[in-house]
Amino acid sequence: MKFATQAIHSGYDCDEHNRALMPPIYQNSMFALHEIGENVPYRYSRLSNPTRQILENTVADLEHGAAGFAFSSGMAGIDAVWRTFLQPGDTIVAVADIYGGAYDLLVDVYQKWGVNVVFADLGNPDNLDELLKVHNVKLVWLETPSNPLLRLVDIKALAAKAKAAGALVGIDNTFATPYLQQPLDMGCDFVFHSATKYLCGHSDVLMGIVVAKTKELAQPLHDMMVHTGAIAGPMDCWLVLRGIKTLALRMNAHCQNALEIARRLEAHPAIEKVFYPGLPSHEHYELAQAQMPKGIGGVVTVYLKNDTREAANSVIKNMKLVKMASSLGGVESLVNHCYSQSHSGVPHNVKMEMGIRVGLLRFSVGIEDVDDIWNDISAALDTTL
């Protein structure tokens, strides 16, 4: 099946659920047993729930993996991978321009636990060679496109290098979604999604989803989920299942609108620089064309020429359609001030090293009419001139 068809039909057999065309919501905590030791697939919803299982199977199918796991938040999903496969004394190499919440987790929790955390610019795959010579790396953690500067890394090249050295490879695929990029086919062992964002697509769920490439890797991850209990609830799973059914349509619209907005932003006098890998001006444009041929996604980030908090706030306050919010990936257009929001916990000097200025704005371009989006953004940018 093609992706759009697979997104609607994979992971679910209506004959197994009283022929309900849409997956039912099993909003219950436990299931009846007829005798001691009865071997049934569902007993207690922390262990497994039919609605959650349908979602997990669906995303695993879309990512070409062996098994999926739905967690109560994106951070719970990332933590489950790291806690399952890292021990004190192990080394993790993570992309330097990592999501702020993931940075905080590595620095505030895993470093203090005794894990050796190395942040590295992996835009050049050769940089990983040097790290693999110096460190006995257990896990390489990628994020491409990255949040918020939309830098790309060569997934196939980095995965091959890591695997040759005996390291596992995980990747945050949130911005791309499985519609635009399938990292397990490129050599990764785990793929992570903040399902809060594009998989759900309607800004009404908190969830993280992890897909493991093999059954052998899936089993300890499953055990960690059961032991720690950070599972997604059935109602949230149902909402994400509903969202996935329109993922291909929505991502096409996000990509089309984002590319047009990025082009117009490049010509606006209030903008110093636009970060969007679909533009020829982007440092990873050629890699983007090869690695993400269907499209580049719906996020566009900019540097304002007036690199001040006041200018950024003026843009935010003067937009009527585009709202300031903490997340992204919904059908509506949003803006994030990453310095004070997504990367608020990152020290100032590290933000500067990452390129996260106070005058940086991250737009999550929605699927409204593109002229309405542009008119709102453009008028607000004019206030900074």
Exposed e or buried b per residue across 339-367, where buried means at least 16 C-beta atoms within 10 angstroms of its C-beta: bebbbeebeeebbeebbbbbbbbbbbbbb
Work out the widest C-alpha separation in the chain, in whole angstroms: 74
Measured on CA atoms in the order 176, 177, 183, 188, is the torsion positive or negative? Answer: positive
Reduced to 3 states (helix: H, G, I; strand: E, B; else coil), residue 41 is coil
Tell me which of 46, 156, 245, 294 is the catalytic residue: 46
Q: CA–CA distance from 80 to each of 151, 170, 376 (Å)?
A: 25, 12, 40
Residue 190, helix vs strand vs coil: strand
Q: Provide the token pair at 379.
A: 């008028």
Q: Nearest-CA neighbor of 175 among 56, 321, 276, 68?
A: 276
CA distance 115 to 77: 18
The DSSP code for 183 is G
DSSP state of 22: S
Active-site position among 79, 172, 189, 236: 172
Based on the residue annotation, tell me whether 317 is a catalytic residue of this protein: no
Catalytic residue among 26, 99, 198, 339: 99
Active site residue 103: no
Q: Which residue in this structure is represented by tokens 């933590």?
A: 79
Judging by DSSP bridges, how do beta strands 190-194 and 208-212 pair with one another? antiparallel
Residue owning tokens 């040097």: 130
Identify whether 99 is a catalytic site residue: yes
> 174: buried, middle or exposed (CB in 10 Å: 19+, 13-18, 0-12)?
buried
Distance, CA of 34 to CA of 116 (rounded, Å): 49
> Could you say which of 138, 151, 161, 197 is catalytic?
197
Tokens of 106: 């590595």
- Contact of 75 with 196, CB cutoff 8 Å: no
- The label of the residue with tokens 């059908």 reads 331
Catalytic residues, by residue number, are: 46, 99, 172, 197
